[in-house]
Structure 1
Amino acid sequence: MKLEEKLFSLRKAKGLSQLNLAEKIGVSRQAISRWEAGIAKPTTDNLKCLGTLYNVPLEYLLNDDAVELPHEELKPIKAESINEAPKRKIVLALIVAGLTVLVLCTMIFWRKEETTIPMEKIEGSDVVTVDNFVMDW
């Protein structure tokens, strides 16, 4: 069995999605997809993480001739143990969006009332009107 087949099989046996697995080992979901498609290979450090996560020896992952492991040994990972980082990111994004809306609403609706003052009422200025033309200041 090839590495990509083993990675796919082990992930499914653990009950993980590509996104869940990516979050657990600190890579992108696309990286997991490329590994399982055989387009790319995981680094040695990522293979070590996968071996530890799946509780399989590194030799099993690297050796195409390795004997297949029974799936009874692989217990699904509970959802509670999956990294909580996405929830934190969503909460942070909602807080930032809320603050942005609050600032924008404040800027839009908190206007000072503008009043016009006729030029004649401004003290200390010389008012010149020509042909009944009055300019408000």
Structure 2
Amino acid sequence: MLQLSKILLTIIFFGIGVIHFYWAFGGLWAKRLAIPTTQEGAPLFDPGLGSCVIIGLFFSVLLLINQKELLRSLPLLYERVLWAIIALVFLARAIGDFQYVGFFKYVKHTTFAYLDNLYYTPLCLLIFALIVVKLAVR
């Protein structure tokens, strides 16, 4: 189970990191679909090069931590605390801001809200669950 969790997290982290780097360097495919919008359809923000690179780097670091390429000498307790914090970040994203993202969002009738319900929020919950499995099995 631990190996399956590690493999799935690797695939997910790699995929999310790659798409953010793709967006950072000019890619447009699905970029607008990943941005929360108001009820009128106006995007809440316009992610630029910097924010896409930061998110891409975040997922690259998660990928390296998951593969034990980064922080090899970190004591097990610190590693577990780090994974617990990461898991809580994804749980918080799944719960949402009670306005535009997450399971408990208020704005529910936009394209982003539909995709958030179908893909983004469940993916965050899956990442949380996979990390919990990783922590529980050790």
TM-score between the two structures when normalised by the length of structure 2: 0.29
Point out which structure has higher relative CO (alpha carbons under 8 A, 6+ apart).
2
Higher-Rg structure is 1
More helix by share: 2
